[in-house]
Chains A and B, each alone.
Chain A
Amino acid sequence: MAPPARRVDAAVELDGLVKRYGTTMAVDGLTFHAARGEVTALLGPNGAGKTTTVEICAGFRRADAGTARVLGRDPADRALRARVGVMSQSGGVPVSARAGEFLRLVAALYADPVDPAALLDRLGLTEHARTPYKRLSGGQRQRLSLAAAIVGRPELVFLDEPTTGLDPQARHATWALIEELRAAGVAVVLTTHHMDEAERLADQVYIVDRGRVVAYGTPRELTGAERQLRFRARSGLGLDELLAALPPGSAAKESPAGYYLIEGEIRPELLATVTAWCASHGVLTEDLRIERRTLEDVFLELTGRELRP
């Protein structure tokens, strides 16, 4: 696919990035741009190369080929460390460090940090400020990592799966914080495999699979204007016969049993045809609705439905 257009305000520019581990291609010619004041999501299944991409941008690893520019510099440039925040999945917090103590330590490494106490409070960690890292729950650890990534008031943050393992309250607190970062002009790059997260937060979504970008655009561009018709009915309807009654270019399928999906140009006539056909066969439709394709539909279409090892 054609690379995305170059942007003047790009905070991150990756072009044809390649990273191999032995014979495995972790990243295979990945190209993506992220802008300031926007949330850019790398959306992809596990093993798609998202974390490796973030680690290259954070200067933890070097790419084997391709170019990477972060705030206009080589990602390995130490001068970037004060300007870029990184939340990695591995945490990297000493197990005996207390949550508040660790955040104060990280804050002390920056010139003009956010007040650590205020940040703990925003992320619901105040009552755990004196709890050692090893006794924090997974969700609390995630939030502490997020706090440590943004406490130095960076221009650009990389958040690797920021909400994985969070309960709904913590997830919403995290989303609110990410939206606030965007409003403050920070460039936010996040990886996720949660469609709703990308759909809700991201200005630009890059769908990544097997180390490559397979589609990108705004969530709206990716889901397109296409609509689909869904309904429930008894299983085993004769879909070929129904399809014959529909306009050419329509598609119909039953999956799982009893759940039907009609794709194509969904117009009022089509709806009437479907309900009339069902009526003539004595079929009562339930939960009949017309909906836009979701990012999940696009994602599964592009990355396949089979389970990955």
Chain B
Amino acid sequence: MSSTLTPAPGAAPLPAMVRAQAAYEVRALLRNGEQLLLTLVIPVVLLLLFGATSLLDLGPGRRVDFLTPGIIALAIMSTAFTGQAIGTGFERRYGVLKRLGATPLPRSGLIMAKTISVIAVEILQVGAVVAVASALGWRPHGNPASVAFLVLLGTAAFSGLGLLLAGTLRAEATLAAANLVYVLFLVLGGVVFPLSEFPGAVASALGLLPISALADGLRQVLQHGAALPGKDIAVLAVWSVAGPALAARFFRWE
């Protein structure tokens, strides 16, 4: 590094740019108190609350085996969708995206960095949830690769939907909408309340939500040892294509 201002223009190599931006994004996500509440505190508290007590009728089987996959799905949604929508919405509002557009970091590099940071935070979240669940006596089944595949599809779907909100609505509207969707999906998406509690037709419709497909898919694998839950994967696959495609089509950078 130099201390002279003599021109020596040039972009850093793309991997170095993406690494720097991703490291910054992770720090920004972890520094934000409200985000941490959403991404870590709420999932862990829900797991403890409903896992260790019998406040909720979770149907047959051990409570923690039902709850943990749903809580993992909630954690994925909170980071990929809610956190990303709110963070990016305010970045857009404060001209951060426009400012970054004046640097050598291409938009594809920014998207890569955001994706890496989301996955990094998800690893932390899943680690915390698994630790708490294990303490409650959780014993998962199934193939870890199936779990990873479901999580990746869910991440793509929720990231696309989060960026769609962030790139089309005002920042305040994004904040409100992202939090509202979080709460609705938490209640209606089979996260902690089994979909079987709803009337049949409603349950089938709710089953098409990305959160329900992710929660149910994870449950099929982790609770019941399924190899690849076909219907859930099909639903998630549609969302994971539609979300990013809609975001790419409608996202406005400023």
Asked if A and B bind, the verdict is yes
Is A14 on the interface with B (CB-CB < 8 A)? Answer: no
Is B134 on the interface with A (CB-CB < 8 A)? Answer: no
> Chain B: which residue is nearest A182 at the CB level?
B5
Contact with A along B1-27 (1 / 0, CB 8 A): 111111111111000110011001001
Is B249 on the interface with A (CB-CB < 8 A)? Answer: no
Is A181 on the interface with B (CB-CB < 8 A)? Answer: yes
Instruction: A89 to B82: give the CA distance in the assembly, Å.
Output: 30
Is A108 on the interface with B (CB-CB < 8 A)? Answer: yes
Is B106 on the interface with A (CB-CB < 8 A)? Answer: yes
Contact with B along A167-200 (1 / 0, CB 8 A): 0000000000100110011100000000000000
The total of Cβ contacts below 8 Å across the A-B interface reads 126
Instruction: A91 to B91: give the CA distance in the assembly, Å.
Output: 11
Q: B94 to A105, Cβ gap below 8 A?
A: no
> Chain B: which residue is nearest A181 at the CB level?
B5
Q: B9 to A153, Cβ gap below 8 A?
A: yes
Is A78 on the interface with B (CB-CB < 8 A)? Answer: yes
- Residues on A with C-beta less than 8 A from B49 are none
- Residues on A with C-beta less than 8 A from B12 are 108-111
> Chain A: which residue is nearest B254 at the CB level?
A60
User: Contacts A94-B28, A118-B3 known; A112 to B10 CB distance under 8 Å?
Assistant: yes
Is A13 on the interface with B (CB-CB < 8 A)? Answer: no
Q: B9 to A92, Cβ gap below 8 A?
A: no
Interface pick from B67-75, B97-105, B179-187: B97-105
- Residues on A with C-beta less than 8 A from B100 are 92
Interface pick from A22-30, A95-103, A261-269, A280-288: A95-103
Instruction: A99 to B103: give the CA distance in the assembly, Å.
Output: 17
Contact with B along A126-165 (1 / 0, CB 8 A): 0000000000000000000000101011110000000000
Q: A108 to B102, Cβ gap below 8 A?
A: no
Is A83 on the interface with B (CB-CB < 8 A)? Answer: yes
Most chain-A Cβ atoms within 10 A of its Cβ — which of B7, B27, B254? Answer: B7
User: Contacts A94-B94, A101-B24 known; A114 to B4 CB distance under 8 Å?
Assistant: yes
Is B90 on the interface with A (CB-CB < 8 A)? Answer: yes
Q: Which of B9, B16, B94, B101 makes the CB contact (< 8 A) with A108?
A: B16
14 intermolecular pairs with C-beta atoms under 8 Å apart? A78-B106, A81-B11, A81-B104, A90-B99, A97-B28, A107-B1, A109-B17, A109-B20, A109-B104, A109-B105, A114-B1, A114-B5, A152-B9, A155-B7
* B interface residue numbers (CB < 8 A to A): 1-12, 16-17, 20-21, 24, 27-28, 31-32, 90-91, 94-106, 254
Nearest first, the 3 closest Cβ-Cβ pairs linking A and B are: A92-B99, A111-B10, A108-B20
